[in-house]
Amino acid sequence: MPDYSVQLSKYMPVSAAPIISQWIVNSGCLFRISKHRSSKFGDYRPPYGKHGHRISVNHNLNPYAFLITTIHEFAHLKTWNSYKNKAKPHGKEWKANFRQLMEPFIRNGIFPDDVETALVHYMNNPAASSCTDLSLFRVLKQHDIQKNGAQTVEKLPENTIFTLKNGRVFQRKEKIRKRYRCVELQTQRIYLFSPIAEVTVLEYPINSVNLTRHSS
């Protein structure tokens, strides 16, 4: 019987790797370490045609985020095995399976105290992604090892100018309810950003940016 513990331990807590390895073997799942995807941390695909269960998880997550995402996707697999397409993607069936699969990791102290506290709170009503729970996301970010210079919008002082990966430049304005109003400098259009959106601060001052409104 194959054992993927050594490979998995490069991405998640060592003590969790044997459990996940056993899940992969028992389910016959194709488990893939994926490149970074800004739109999602992981993905589950049910059996289709000649393909069996398929799970992918982003390679650049810290060990705790990687493990939580992996459990999230295996909860989808378990839900599909029981209900096929009759259950909602993140409905009560998935939530029950997520809690059940997570329980032994909580019980065995796999996570550090701050992550465990935020995770237990999140498990009261788990959502489509751990990044939609701001408290859990913020705690997980504290355990990131590699820093790429990115900052979250909520950490920026008002009027800070920042850029996205696609090169678009914005100026952060005030908070409106749960999001921040930001002005795209080239078009002067208003966009609402999640407080945990990752952006890169520009070094040059605001007066060097072209604020001319483009006529339509």
Inform me whether the pLDDT recorded for 46 exceeds 80.
Answer: yes
Asked whether residue 30 falls in the same domain as residue 129, the answer is yes
Identify the CA nearest to 125 among candidates 79, 92, 77.
Answer: 92
Q: Does a structural domain hold residue 213? A: no
Total structural domains within the chain:
2
CA distances from 185 to 123, 173, 190 (A): 40, 12, 9
Contact between 88 and 94 under an 8 Å Cβ cutoff? The reply is yes
> What's the average model confidence in pLDDT over 3-15?
94
Asked whether residue 108 falls in the same domain as residue 58, the answer is yes
- Residue 210: the pLDDT is 42
- Alpha-carbon distance of 131 to 208, in angstroms, equals 34
Asked whether residue 130 falls in the same domain as residue 164, the answer is no
Which range is least confidently modeled, 96-100, 125-129, 200-204, 205-209? Answer: 205-209
Q: Does a structural domain hold residue 215? A: no
Exposure class string for 141-158: b at 16+ Cβ within 10 A, else e? eeeeeeeeeeebbbebee
pTM: 0.74
pLDDT in tens, 139-149: 998 888 655 56
Type and span of the H or E element at 76:
helix 63-83
Domain boundary among 87, 116, 141: 141
Identify the CA nearest to 152 among candidates 193, 118, 182, 196.
Answer: 196
Inform me whether the pLDDT recorded for 208 exceeds 50.
Answer: no
Mean pLDDT of the chain: 87
> What's the average model confidence in pLDDT over 21-50?
92
Inform me whether the pLDDT recorded for 207 exceeds 70.
Answer: no
pLDDT in tens, 157-203: 888 999 998 889 999 999 888 889 999 999 999 999 988 788 888 86
Asked whether residue 17 falls in the same domain as residue 121, the answer is yes
Give one word for 215, left, alpha or beta, with left for phi > 0 and alpha for psi -120 to 50: beta
The boundaries of the domain holding residue 116 are 5-141
Which are the contacts of 106, defined by CB distance < 8 A and separation ≥ 6? 116, 119, 120
Asked whether residue 192 falls in the same domain as residue 128, the answer is no
How big is the CA angle at 137 (ends 173 and 160), to the nearest 5 degrees? 20
Asked whether residue 95 falls in the same domain as residue 55, the answer is yes
Q: Does a structural domain hold residue 170? A: yes
> What's the average model confidence in pLDDT over 38-65?
92
